[in-house]
Structure 1
Amino acid sequence: MISELLKKMRPGTIAHERLRVGTMSSGMVISIPVTIVKGRSDGACLWVNGQVHGNELNGVVAAVELGRRLKPESMSGSVVITPTANPLGLDNHTKTAPQDLQDLDQAFPGNAGGLTTNQMAHALFSEVKSVASCLVNLHTMGSIHDSKPYCVYKVYGGGAVAEEKLLRMTSYFEPSVSCRMDIGGAGELPGNIAGALDYQCLLVGIPAFMVELGQGSWYTPENVELAVSGLMKLAQELGILEGTPQAGSEVRRVTARQWVILKEGGLFLSTRKPGETIPANQAIGQVLDMHGRTVCDVTLPKDCIIIGIRRDPVVHSGDRVAFVATHWDSAALQK
């Protein structure tokens, strides 16, 4: 659909369409909104996906705002924007679609005959792989965790997209850290890592990565602006927009990260901030019981960087209170 529409569109124009997925019991159509911005001449195609999880909102706003700012008459190539790939989750204010509770970012490349979420994944990815030269998948952390914007990219043996290229692309978003995920190992949480949209793009040779834009369920204007600025710079690198983007000389690359998980519940209190480096055995926070007594000091036996920190103090055994980097370096960027 998108490839045919791009062929038919006049140069220097914008089209608004919807990718049909199916219908609800009432007959209401389930569809994914798409904005296609076609430049005055041929060139690369940047695909911006604002959201796969329904309660991660900064990316939705950033994707919409990017579409408002692009001027097709001054572009080469094209930009395709899907502000939400999960309209059912978005409308329900939940991470997953209420119809099947499946994680969309574990469902790619999708299945046209599968559950609702699998069908949404299939509808989106079938179009992405037919036109995209590069894809950015926007996310946030959960609503109970505070974080600075950061990036995540995936690598695997024999991959066609070089890690150096992905690192440079992430640098345009001024991330607090850029986290490398090695496919084949265990993730920080249970789930099908290989079902992520960015990984499936890498498998077919499309450079792709994730940008995490702070806290979920909130609109944070500064994070939205950071995302739009980064997307504009990436479009410059791809030759879609005029100008030469300025990448930094290095990025803080994280090669190991983990969630800090509690053994006992209570009230988790912390003054630590995202981006802060915590020396080994120093407290990340403290858990108190309902009588004000200390249950435990939350520490790690090694240095860490706070990527995200819990701000909802009500915690139980097994709850996640911090997301931290435990191994990192300064990676020089290719020019």
Structure 2
Amino acid sequence: MIKTVAEVALPVDEVLRIKKRRILPDGSESVPKRISIVTGIHGDELEGQYVCFELARQIEENKKCLKGIVDIYPAMNPLGIDSVIRGIPAFDLDMNRIFPGNTEGNMTELLAANILKDVSGSAVVLDIHASNIYLTEIPQIRINRLHKEELVPLAKHCNVDFVWIHEASTVLESTFAYSLNHAGTPCLVVEMGVGMRITKEYGDQLVDGILGLMHYMGMWTGETKAPRKPIVSENAEDVCFLNAASGGLFIPDVKHWEKLCKGDRIGRIIDPLSGQVLQNVESPVDGILFTIREYPIVDEGSLIGRLLKKEVMAV
């Protein structure tokens, strides 16, 4: 069943509609739990599109195993997706900075308020993001420290590699996930892959995790895979940021999610004109690389990668 959850009029007799697909269990006499899969808030993040497709396909093929309601929202920002723009076109606005919205506000505020109203009340929500075009991320869940007691146990069933608990911030208060969690609807923020691309293996990994989470919550009786045991970090000191000391072309030497020792070379920043190596980017600690630069052109200060320190991995 496909339903329009929010719509606004556009110029030239067009209408912007945000739609969801609802998959219902067969023959349910009681009101079952509901899980909501949300993606496409940023128009250049496409990893969640494949997750929506594959999750729906597997559920439909094993419909008798479904014991809950599955709501799938593949395109929260359809204009952004259609035009390959991160924000909302013509507004120069990040959609993930306008929640909880306002039914009496402008077009974007109205959309945000109606979306939040429709998703609210779910037993759990997964807000799926990709990285931007510059960085590749391993499958991870990011959790605001204010909501860690409720969300970390759920995140451990999602088959991700890393759970990153971060500090509260006033900026985060305007996000979709913060608004839901603040109102009492549990929402997990998934980050994985890279902008403008689909990483199929990451999508398959998360679909396995969603089915596993549904099984844990009594919403799925089908076969599931044992979830990966994620590394959980909640201290800012656990993560080491690597930034470029010089502008140039970054050439990586290591792969994503690779264990490194202090002094190992992660890559080089080179100058194609002079043929010189401007910087050997070395690991400052023993750890594992969970973010790496995807787009090769860097400026001084550009983020090259993130490392999780070895002592956290051993916990």
TM-score (norm 2): 0.86
Report the CA distance shift for 1:292/1:120 in structure 2 as closer, same or farther (over 3 A): farther
Can you list the C-alpha shifts for 1:52-97, whole angstroms capped at 9, x where unaligned?
1111112012113322332455432311110111111111112111
Distance in structure 2 (CA, Å) of the matches to 1:276 and 1:302: 13
Q: Which residue of 2 aligns with 1:219?
A: 198
Cα offset for 1:328? 6.4
- Are 1:272 and 1:309, in contact at CA under 8 Å, matched by a contact in 2? no
Distance in structure 2 (CA, Å) of the matches to 1:284 and 1:115: 47
Distance in structure 2 (CA, Å) of the matches to 1:307 and 1:117: 34
Moved more, 257-266 or 56-65: 257-266
Residue 49 in structure 1 maps to residue 38 in structure 2:
yes
Residue 17 in structure 1 maps to residue 3 in structure 2:
yes
- Are 2:159 and 2:206, in contact at CA under 8 Å, matched by a contact in 1? no
Give the alignment of 1:233-312 within 5 angstroms: 233-242=212-221, 247-248=226-227, 250-255=229-234, 256=236, 257=239, 259-289=241-271, 290-299=273-282, 301-312=284-295
Residue 98 in structure 1 maps to residue 95 in structure 2:
no
Distance in structure 2 (CA, Å) of the matches to 1:100 and 1:92: 13
Cα offset for 1:125? 0.7
Cα offset for 1:228? 1.7
Distance in structure 1 (CA, Å) of the matches to 2:206 and 2:81: 20
- Are 1:100 and 1:115, in contact at CA under 8 Å, matched by a contact in 2? no
Report the CA distance shift for 1:245/1:170 in structure 2 as closer, same or farther (over 3 A): farther
- Are 1:62 and 1:227, in contact at CA under 8 Å, matched by a contact in 2? yes
Instruction: Please state whether the residue corresponding to 1:224 is helix, strand or coil.
Output: helix
Instruction: Please state whether the residue corresponding to 1:59 is helix, strand or coil.
Output: helix
Distance in structure 2 (CA, Å) of the matches to 1:124 and 1:182: 26
Residue 31 in structure 1 maps to residue 7 in structure 2:
no
Instruction: Please state whether the residue corresponding to 2:193 is helix, strand or coil.
Output: coil
TM-score (norm 1): 0.81
Distance in structure 2 (CA, Å) of the matches to 1:330 and 1:115: 46
Instruction: Please state whether the residue corresponding to 1:166 is helix, strand or coil.
Output: helix
Amino acid across the alignment from 1:296: Q
- Are 1:21 and 1:31, in contact at CA under 8 Å, matched by a contact in 2? yes
Report the CA distance shift for 1:115/1:322 in structure 2 as closer, same or farther (over 3 A): farther
Cα offset for 1:136? 0.4
Cα offset for 1:308? 1.8
Distance in structure 2 (CA, Å) of the matches to 1:81 and 1:17: 10
Distance in structure 2 (CA, Å) of the matches to 1:124 and 1:323: 33
Structure 2: 5+ residue stretches without partners? none
Report the CA distance shift for 1:136/1:55 in structure 2 as closer, same or farther (over 3 A): same
Q: Which residue of 2 aligns with 1:315?
A: 298
Distance in structure 1 (CA, Å) of the matches to 2:145 and 2:155: 14
Q: Which residue of 2 aligns with 1:150?
A: 140
Give the alignment of 1:187-226 within 5 angstroms: 192-226=171-205
Which of 77, 80, 87 in structure 2 is aligned with 1:89?
80
Cα offset for 1:132? 0.9
- Are 2:268 and 2:280, in contact at CA under 8 Å, matched by a contact in 1? yes
Amino acid across the alignment from 2:67: S
Q: Which residue of 1 aligns with 2:51?
A: 62
Can you list the C-alpha shifts for 1:123-169, whole angstroms capped at 9, x where unaligned?
2111111x31100011111233233322222221xx4xx53x53343
Cα offset for 1:46? 0.4
Structure 1: 5+ residue stretches without partners? 1-14, 185-190
Q: CA RMSD in A?
A: 2.6
Distance in structure 2 (CA, Å) of the matches to 1:54 and 1:299: 34
Distance in structure 1 (CA, Å) of the matches to 2:105 and 2:151: 32
Distance in structure 2 (CA, Å) of the matches to 1:203 and 1:331: 32
Identity of aligned residues (%): 23
Aligned length: 306
Can you list the C-alpha shifts for 1:89-125, whole angstroms capped at 9, x where unaligned?
1111121111212222222212334454433322211
- Are 1:280 and 1:300, in contact at CA under 8 Å, matched by a contact in 2? yes
Q: Which residue of 1 aligns with 2:156?
A: 171
Distance in structure 1 (CA, Å) of the matches to 2:133 and 2:278: 25
Distance in structure 1 (CA, Å) of the matches to 2:49 and 2:39: 4
